[in-house]
Structure 1
Amino acid sequence: MNTRPTPLRVLSRSDLADVPISPADVVRAVEDAYLAFAAGDSDNPRKLSVAHPDGWSVAYAMLGRDGRRRVVAMKTSYKFDPHHDRSTKRYYTTITLYDDATGMPVAMMDCARVGALRTPAVSALLVRETARPGARSVLLIGTGTQGRNALPHLLTANPGLNRLMLYGTHPEGLESVRRQLLDHDPRAELELVSDPHEAARGADVILATAGPGTHVAIEAKDLAPGATVVLVGYGLAPSTLTEADRVIATSAEQMALTGTDMAGPDGRLRPVDAELPQILNRRAVGRRTDDERVFVYNSGLVLTDIAVAHALATRAIAEGRGTEVPLWD
């Protein structure tokens, strides 16, 4: 019987905040996770959820196995938001990693930075696979966490995009987007736009990352032929989905669960034509013609969280960060 203590490395939000990892490393980790899933090497079961009947809180549990990294993980999230007020809202996400080759725990860690990096990396891959040939212009809507991380990852996977437009209403958010872009590419130029609908008509790619309070809702009539629109948060009207020539999702199942606000006038959600894992391993295509308008729904698979969390945890532990807790002594 093994009597040696089995410590668990706990990595807090501050432990992980400045762990160095490049957008290229994040995009590569996320793509590898999708390819492993498409090849049948990994498992991503359906998430479990419980919610307060009056809508005060909602919690999720997501289990996954990354067969290539030999890592098993459980991600949990809990949101407490009784008054729909930022001052009282509480939101916590964690992920616990286990080494499936040795049977040892790797870490339990805050998941905020994992999500902040994973989601824009997924968007970058979705755009790479669905943007029309020769795409040059992108409109980013929103300056929250996802908006701030969007452009460095997008440009890593799509270096041909060179007209970068941004719409937002919070000065500090606008400045943060600009700063993070210049940290990635000091030569990049960012164009602030005052009318997102007009800007959308000249955009090859639209990334909608705004929060639920946004007044922006880009309609299908605002889109240029051949445009790709990616829904991450808010900023697109249901018509961009119902009138799309092609619909792509990271997961059709997830879109059916969380995309109901994009249903058409008949209350039905437009079916998905192809999913990202199958597109990446070339069993499906993201785009068929240059002029079709493609709607893309970015929802997470826990396997991508595992990939990014493992990369961050490995770097953090190598630097001696975090606290070892003798949980199983």
Structure 2
Amino acid sequence: MKDLLFIDADDIARALSPSAAADAVADVLRAGLDPETCPPRANVPVPAGELLLMPAAAGAYAGVKIAGVAPANPGRGLPRITGGYLLLEGATLMPVALLDGAALTSLRTPAVSAVAIRHLAEPDAGHLVLFGAGPQAYGHLEAALAERPLTRLTVVSRTASAAEALVAHARTAFGLDARTGTPDEVSGADLVVCCTTAREPLFDGRLVPEHATVVAVGSHEPDARETDTALVSRSRVFVEARSVALREAGDLIIPVREGALEPGRIVGTLADLVSGRTAPGPGGPRFFKSVGMAWQDLAVAAAVHRAVERRGRGCVERENARRVPTKEGPEHDRPSTQP
């Protein structure tokens, strides 16, 4: 077996823009993949937190992500989400690449949100209220900017220094009118994005304007949510897959349990939007809830691998990629170390 190509975080960032990653997600759906039939995520509790196993197969590729969720890591100066992605040939299941799992997730999750924003947000959406100031917040800012002509950014975070750093980045990198704010600022938002580890609602859903779009990506647990029942009950709700959302998304499960949301009131899925089977339609804010699914990792990992291959394997090996040794290969530098 040949040495396995290692694609690190820098390689992933160079290989695919947020817009291209969103296109990869949409293309897989357009080609006919049905998220409702995809294997469920396996969750395994461990002393440090949780291990997630996420396999998928589609087209010319298969793959599996092993992700670790370690809540105590940020206090140690380490990332909360760890892991790797093993990409395989679809026909033979021979490994072709190992990707940095955290970097892949940091690209994949905003890409999924970007597809939702592409179809749900008002074309002239200008004011983004962003909850959170971690890696996903940076990724979602860039992804949202690729989809809509944002001019204003309000960052709401429990960590003032992190919020100020994101505001400074938005001003310098994108020229936005950016500042920190409070949860009530959703009253003036065109787009609200929630990417936090919160387990309770972040804002009063009654304040969200009728024309606004809300995207929530922070949790995949049935007892955790970033949005409240008031928002969900007045919104047109969209998800990645109905079965997964009603099993993992506390943002929806809790309102269902309270009797405020009938499961049949979920208007549609990303696949419905991409294919044109469902339109956003009028009647309140548009709400997209994402928990993350394995097919999305595969779509983006495959697109990254194709981009690396197009650039020329020899060039990438010299400039960017390290190699993971196999039994038959020589020893090389090993890679250093959302679901």
**Into which bin does the TM-score normalised by the smaller protein fall?**
0.7 to 0.9
Tell me the SS of whatever aligns to 2:255. coil
1:119 is the counterpart of 2:109: yes
Partner of 2:66: 76
Question: For residues 257 and 313 of structure 1, what CA distance do their matches in structure 2 show?
Answer: 31
Tell me the SS of whatever aligns to 1:64. strand
Partner of 2:222: none
Alpha carbons 2:35, 2:240 under 8 Å: kept: no
Partner of 2:332: none
1:236 is the counterpart of 2:222: no
Partner of 2:281: 288
Partner of 2:206: 221
Query: How do residues 71-220 of structure 1 correspond to structure 2 at under 5 angstroms?
Result: 71-81=61-71, 86-87=75-76, 91-101=81-91, 104-132=94-122, 134-159=124-149, 161-168=150-157, 169-176=159-166, 178-179=168-169, 182-183=172-173, 185=174, 188-197=175-184, 199-212=185-198, 217-220=202-205
> Shift of residue 315 of structure 1?
4.7
Task: Please point out which of 57, 76, 92 is paired with 1:65.
Answer: 57
Question: For residues 6 and 228 of structure 2, what CA distance do their matches in structure 1 show?
Answer: 41
Letter of the 2:287 counterpart: F
- CA distance 1:265–1:7, change in 2 (3 Å): closer
> Shift of residue 60 of structure 1?
2.0
Tell me the SS of whatever aligns to 2:14. coil
Alpha carbons 1:124, 1:155 under 8 Å: kept: no
1:19 is the counterpart of 2:41: no
Partner of 1:8: 4
Alpha carbons 1:93, 1:111 under 8 Å: kept: yes
C-alpha offsets along residues 34-66 of structure 1, whole Å, 9 cap, x if unaligned?
32344x5997322222225xx753222221112
Unaligned runs of 5+ in 2: 219-224, 330-339
Letter of the 2:28 counterpart: A
> Shift of residue 316 of structure 1?
5.0
C-alpha offsets along residues 100-132 of structure 1, whole Å, 9 cap, x if unaligned?
256542112221111111111211221221224
Question: For residues 291 and 236 of structure 2, what CA distance do their matches in structure 1 show?
Answer: 17
Alpha carbons 1:97, 1:310 under 8 Å: kept: yes
Alpha carbons 2:249, 2:291 under 8 Å: kept: no
- CA distance 1:22–1:259, change in 2 (3 Å): same
Alpha carbons 2:74, 2:80 under 8 Å: kept: no
> Shift of residue 216 of structure 1?
6.7
Partner of 2:325: 325
Letter of the 1:220 counterpart: G
C-alpha offsets along residues 197-233 of structure 1, whole Å, 9 cap, x if unaligned?
1x211112111112328x8721122111222111112
> Shift of residue 311 of structure 1?
3.2
Aligned residues: CA RMSD: 3.2
Tell me the SS of whatever aligns to 1:273. strand
> Shift of residue 182 of structure 1?
4.4
Letter of the 2:103 counterpart: R
Question: For residues 81 and 126 of structure 2, what CA distance do their matches in structure 1 show?
Answer: 37
> Shift of residue 97 of structure 1?
0.7
Letter of the 1:22 counterpart: S
Unaligned runs of 5+ in 1: none
Question: For residues 17 and 280 of structure 1, what CA distance do their matches in structure 2 show?
Answer: 25
If the length of structure 2 is used for normalisation, what is the TM-score?
0.78
Alpha carbons 2:239, 2:270 under 8 Å: kept: yes
Number of corresponding residues: 309
Letter of the 1:274 counterpart: G
Question: For residues 279 and 71 of structure 1, what CA distance do their matches in structure 2 show?
Answer: 24
Question: For residues 32 and 208 of structure 1, what CA distance do their matches in structure 2 show?
Answer: 25
> Shift of residue 305 of structure 1?
1.0
> Shift of residue 162 of structure 1?
2.9
Partner of 2:335: none
If the length of structure 1 is used for normalisation, what is the TM-score?
0.80
